[in-house]
Structure 1
Amino acid sequence: MKNKTLAKDAWGSRLGLILAMAGNAVGLGNFLRFPVQAVQNGGGAFIIPYLVCFLILGIPLLFIEWSSGRFGGKFGNHSTPFILDTMGKGRIWKYIGVFGIFTNIAVVAYYTYIESWSLSYVLHSLMGTFEGMSQSQVAQFFDNYISISSSTTGIPFEPVVIYILVLILNVYILSKGLGGIEKAAKIGMPLLILFGIILAVKSLTLGESGRSVQFPDASAWDGLNFLWTPQYDSLLNPKVWLAAAGQIFFTLSVGMGTIQCYASYLKANDDVALNSVSAGFMNEFVEVVLGSAIVIPIAAGFLGLDWVLENAGFGMAFQTMPFLFQQWGTVMATFSGVFWFGLLFFAGITSSLAMGTPWMGFMKDEFGWGMKRGAWSFGLLALIMGLPTVLFYQQGFFDEYDYWGGTVSLVIFALLESILFSWVFGINKGWQEIMEGADIHVPIIFKFIIKYVTPLMLLLVFIGALVTPQGNDWTTNIQNLLSGNTWQLDSSSIIRKLSHFELTNQLAVSNTPLKREIIEDKIFYSNFARIQLVTLFLFIALLVYYANSRRTKLFTK
């Protein structure tokens, strides 16, 4: 049934759409997660599998989500439950589409918290807070900031206050509709790229000038050489392939529902092929060219590559970069701090804005809610879900959201939507949808890749995460299984995560009441986080059921 109440909201320009789509993809993962993933998976050993995954996983999923969104938009649908419902014949697809709203709310709940870190560090860079601090003091500053019981500015409950302010800023821009998002992208994306180029140039010209007394042999070029020297043996390492595929999901924002929502506001014959490739390659430029040229080379230049290899992690940028900037002098340290953390803030906010659009599109289509009502209700949901990630960050609340809402859900949804597109909707119809109005000729090989290679790769990624072998040693565990022995699961596998295997083992061997109390708290808050996530999913599913009932009644009349 075609919905007669088509949304009036539309993109003002093609450039604005591409920048908004790129802003959706370009986020904290480009500058924080990609370099760390590359370091933890062997540097040059990671690059080839990563680029292959981009071509056989990233680009095909972009084609799928852009064309699916535009197809659903022809029927007045602007959220994944009913976009998928227009493509599939069974009732189940609209409830699978719940992932496309659920994932965005779950992710924005904690993603906004990281944005608040970045904004706070911009302010502290301007205030000169880090001047004269040692590396350990800078690291301790981060720990102090995330602690509710302390304050780095004198503001009571400082992390909560800044988190709410950043969330309000997101909601305000969202309330302006696509026009507000487009304006934010047109300002934020060029500034983000400008900041990135400035820091990358500074990193590349650092040379050996960053050598310290403690690390006299350190060089920024060591970091670049490590990242960009290919190691072909990685092609036979399943662990590296899994890491590369996971990074593609994270960086391109596929499997979330935001791309379908944005594309649903296109006209019936608007191009999706060139748009999706443009947004995808812009993201890759920011990630591969800029993202790899900032944190790792600068850290290697001051602290040495060995230190980077040992300490690479998500928090490294907050715990080390202010100290590294101080080595450039007071004035340059201030500018660098503002540029770096301002870059992270812009990258974060252009992504989090996209996460509100599926909820708003759903509420507008099904219940007639306006932009302001939709945006503020989204903000309220994000606050309810996100406040515990601030209050109980040190108890692991944040990590649970990131794992289940920001990782596992993405893989499941992407796998199911690729099956829907190629095997239920039909690859012939799907290919026709991709090519309709296309401004480029997509090589026919992608038709084969979309139908067979992408779903198979997604299935392997999911199975790999579900039954990750102990120590990520696939070869040994497969040999053991063939010899009649049992498959030894790693504590990072989904199955072991569900049962709190690692925490339960720690609890069994803990020998002091304090350690037992800390572990018991982590288990409690982990379960609390999971209950919230399940409740959110069921709440959205109930709304979809109610909306479908309304549609059915309207149709029968």
Structure 2
Amino acid sequence: MALTQSGSTGDHWSSRTAFILAAVGAAVGLGNIWRFPTLAGENGGGAFVLVYIGFVVLLGLPLVLSEVLLGRAGGEDAIGSVRKVAEHSNRSEAWKGIGALQITAGFLILSFYSVVAGWVINYVFVAGEDFLGALFSGNPLSVAFAGEDQATITGRMGDLFADPGKLIMLHAIFMAATIWIVASGVHDGIEKAAKWLMPAFFVLLVIVTIYGSFTGEFARAVSFMFTPDFGKLNPTALNEALGQALFSLSLAAGGLLTYGAYVQRDVKLAPTAAMIAIADTCVAILAGLMIFPIVFAVGLDPAAGPALIFQSLPIAFNQMPAGSLVGLVFFVLIFFAALTSSISLLEGPTAWVIDRFRFRRPFAAIIVGGVAFLIGVACALGYNVWSDVRPLGFWNIFADSDILDSLDGFTGKIMLPLGAFLVAIFVGWIADRRLIQQQTGLSGGMFMLWRFLVAWLCPIAVGLVLLFGLVPGLLGTS
């Protein structure tokens, strides 16, 4: 029942471990380190975390397996893989639109994701300069930004936003790094990057978490994250927990579908998908245990929103021992997470360009990355020169959104849930059942349970995310 792989990329992962590292790298990103702690802080902690984990198990894991198996069954880019499975199942090739939707979403996310990653690079430079200054002064374990007041520290973000040239330069540096890795190929680029960056990321994550457990209020953070107060749950919190489960696992962005095409036939997909989901969830939990003890130790607000990473935590490092060193380590680990995710976002459309136009990989990566860079330039200018531009101002739910926030909202609230919804429908109801079961490697009750989750629970739950994203009034919000 296996289909013939004929993608022009002709690549495969060298091992199951390489695929897991690359797939975890695709999933682990700013969504884990930034978005998860922010949402947990805004929605009361423990109850949100518990619901989030439940959604990962019941919805995220089945969808991860669905996307990876589609990629391996088709063996081509995201569009070609879905088309081949549809043809094998005697269904319309119009279903290939799932792949087109996914790589388009990934491409748009890459364009603004690179801009945000540029902010991270800026803080790596700032923290590095601060640490070197402390090192050369003979006090490498000093607090971060010694001698600066809180207004100066928090003002760095506003200064960065007001400098379009700097924003674009940082965006260009990050995009160039992403293009270089993808252009180097699956083995020499993506796989090598994953093998180096992901272990380094986990080591740095554990180091900062241990630091927070000794210098911060670790017990309070544990209580906040794991003591559920279900009275703080409301429809908005439930919707955000479900959306975060999809976003965090990098579902419907084309990366997992494309990476699945490089998986060898002898790899068992079900346990591999489970490892990806577990690793990603562990990173999100560790991120909370890393950030909240530090935040609580200096009396900052855990519900500070996006400012938590770029403004609140630098203030915390300014008040804690060895803050200059820990601040540098913290922003380096965020950079690693951002880079591994951006690689998968670029690989999806790049693989399609290679398959569709028979371009050489370096040229395809440069073309796709270059266009994404130009869109990102518009996002960067949206914070200064084009700050009054509201590209989706005609749509009430995006009326107040600048260029970057409009792209973020449109992809996150519409394109990703729609892509995940269509995958669930296609795998659960449209694709040949024998082919799907063969690819999963599951049998008996386990296959029936997985198929029930994909065919019934996932479409309903993800459909609600999509509906509530389009019609906020249903949640009692404006």
Query: Does TM-score exceed 0.5, indicating one fold?
Result: yes
Q: What does residue 367 of structure 1 align with? A: 357
Q: Distance in 1 between matches of 2:171 and 2:195?
A: 24
Cα drift, residue 37 of structure 1: 0.7
Q: Distance in 2 between matches of 1:226 and 1:114?
A: 28
Deviation string 1:105-150 (CA, Å, 9 cap, x unpaired) is 101111111211112111111212833222222111111012126x
Q: Distance in 1 between matches of 2:238 and 2:166?
A: 40
Q: What does residue 314 of structure 2 align with? A: 322
Q: Distance in 2 between matches of 1:84 and 1:56?
A: 23
Q: 1:296 aligns with which of 292, 297, 302?
A: 292
Q: What does residue 263 of structure 1 align with? A: 260
1:379 and 2:378 aligned: no
Q: What does residue 192 of structure 1 align with? A: 201
Q: Is the 8 A contact 1:181 1:353 kept in 2?
A: yes
Q: Distance in 2 between matches of 1:181 and 1:445?
A: 34
Q: Distance in 1 between matches of 2:466 and 2:211?
A: 40
Deviation string 1:31-81 (CA, Å, 9 cap, x unpaired) is 1110111111121121221111111110110110011110111xxx22x22
Q: Is the 8 A contact 2:36 2:244 kept in 1?
A: yes
Mark the CA change 1:3 to 1:247 in structure 2 (over 3 Å): closer, same or farther.
closer
Q: Distance in 2 between matches of 1:37 and 1:323?
A: 20
- Residue 131 of structure 1: SS of its match in structure 2? coil
Q: What does residue 136 of structure 1 align with? A: 151
Deviation string 1:496-528 (CA, Å, 9 cap, x unpaired) is xxxxxxxxxxxxxxxxxxxxxxxxxxxxxxxxx
1:223 and 2:221 aligned: yes
Q: Is the 8 A contact 2:53 2:281 kept in 1?
A: no
Q: Distance in 2 between matches of 1:333 and 1:47?
A: 28
Q: What does residue 453 of structure 1 align with? A: 457
Q: Is the 8 A contact 2:118 2:174 kept in 1?
A: yes
Of 398-407 and 339-348, deviating more is 398-407
Where in structure 2 are there 5+ consecutive unaligned residues?
A: 134-144, 388-401
Q: Distance in 2 between matches of 1:261 and 1:244?
A: 26
Ranked by relative contact order (alpha carbons within 8 Å, sequence separation 6 or more), the top structure is: 2
Q: Is the 8 A contact 2:38 2:302 kept in 1?
A: no
Mark the CA change 1:233 to 1:316 in structure 2 (over 3 Å): closer, same or farther.
closer
1:281 and 2:278 aligned: yes
Mark the CA change 1:442 to 1:20 in structure 2 (over 3 Å): closer, same or farther.
farther
Q: What does residue 238 of structure 1 align with? A: 235
Deviation string 1:450-474 (CA, Å, 9 cap, x unpaired) is 221111111122122222226x34x
Mark the CA change 1:198 to 1:313 in structure 2 (over 3 Å): closer, same or farther.
same
Q: Is the 8 A contact 1:148 1:391 kept in 2?
A: no
Where in structure 1 are there 5+ consecutive unaligned residues?
A: 150-156, 208-218, 474-489, 492-557
Mark the CA change 1:49 to 1:378 in structure 2 (over 3 Å): closer, same or farther.
same
Cα drift, residue 104 of structure 1: 1.3
Q: What does residue 247 of structure 1 align with? A: 244
Q: Distance in 1 between matches of 2:466 and 2:451?
A: 22
Q: 1:45 aligns with which of 44, 47, 59?
A: 47
Q: What does residue 57 of structure 1 align with? A: 59
Within 5 A, what are the aligned runs for 1:456-467? 456-467=460-471
Kindly provide the amino acid, as one letter, of the partner of residue 370 in structure 2.
Answer: L
Cα drift, residue 334 of structure 1: 2.2
Cα drift, residue 2 of structure 1: 6.0
Mark the CA change 1:135 to 1:441 in structure 2 (over 3 Å): closer, same or farther.
farther
Q: Distance in 2 between matches of 1:50 and 1:362?
A: 33
Q: Distance in 1 between matches of 2:15 and 2:265?
A: 15
Kindly provide the amino acid, as one letter, of the partner of residue 467 in structure 1.
Answer: V
Q: 1:146 aligns with which of 161, 175, 181?
A: 161
Cα drift, residue 441 of structure 1: 9.4
Q: Distance in 2 between matches of 1:12 and 1:428?
A: 27
- Residue 147 of structure 2: SS of its match in structure 1? coil
Moved over 3 A (4+): 1-7, 232-235, 426-429, 440-444
1:174 and 2:178 aligned: no
Mark the CA change 1:423 to 1:359 in structure 2 (over 3 Å): closer, same or farther.
same
Larger Rg: 1
Q: 1:400 aligns with which of 403, 406, 422?
A: 406
- Residue 343 of structure 2: SS of its match in structure 1? helix
1:308 and 2:302 aligned: yes
- Residue 294 of structure 1: SS of its match in structure 2? helix
Q: TM-score, normalised by structure 2?
A: 0.87
Q: Is the 8 A contact 1:44 1:226 kept in 2?
A: yes
- Residue 108 of structure 1: SS of its match in structure 2? helix
Kindly provide the amino acid, as one letter, of the partner of residue 380 in structure 1.
Answer: G
Q: What does residue 413 of structure 1 align with? A: 419
The CA RMSD measured in Å over matched residues stands at: 2.2
Of 444-453 and 36-45, deviating more is 444-453
1:390 and 2:380 aligned: yes
Q: What does residue 127 of structure 1 align with? A: 129
Mark the CA change 1:5 to 1:300 in structure 2 (over 3 Å): closer, same or farther.
closer
Q: Distance in 2 between matches of 1:443 and 1:4?
A: 28
- Residue 14 of structure 2: SS of its match in structure 1? coil
Q: Is the 8 A contact 2:183 2:362 kept in 1?
A: yes
Q: Is the 8 A contact 1:105 1:381 kept in 2?
A: no
Cα drift, residue 417 of structure 1: 1.3
Q: Is the 8 A contact 2:378 2:403 kept in 1?
A: yes
Q: Is the 8 A contact 1:104 1:256 kept in 2?
A: yes
- Residue 215 of structure 2: SS of its match in structure 1? coil
Q: Distance in 2 between matches of 1:62 and 1:115?
A: 25
Q: Is the 8 A contact 1:415 1:455 kept in 2?
A: yes
Mark the CA change 1:2 to 1:197 in structure 2 (over 3 Å): closer, same or farther.
closer
Mark the CA change 1:12 to 1:428 in structure 2 (over 3 Å): closer, same or farther.
closer
Q: Distance in 2 between matches of 1:442 and 1:14?
A: 22
Within 5 A, what are the aligned runs for 1:510-521? none
Kindly provide the amino acid, as one letter, of the partner of residue 225 in structure 1.
Answer: S
Q: Is the 8 A contact 1:110 1:401 kept in 2?
A: yes
Mark the CA change 1:444 to 1:2 in structure 2 (over 3 Å): closer, same or farther.
closer
Q: Distance in 2 between matches of 1:26 and 1:175?
A: 21
Q: What does residue 206 of structure 1 align with? A: 215
Q: Distance in 1 between matches of 2:72 and 2:150?
A: 50
Within 5 A, what are the aligned runs for 1:5-24? 6-24=8-26
Q: Distance in 2 between matches of 1:434 and 1:234?
A: 38
Q: What does residue 394 of structure 2 align with? A: none
Deviation string 1:77-117 (CA, Å, 9 cap, x unpaired) is 22x22222123322421233211211111011111112111
Deviation string 1:388-409 (CA, Å, 9 cap, x unpaired) is 1111135311101111124421
Cα drift, residue 433 of structure 1: 2.1
Q: What does residue 137 of structure 2 align with? A: none
Q: Is the 8 A contact 2:16 2:267 kept in 1?
A: no
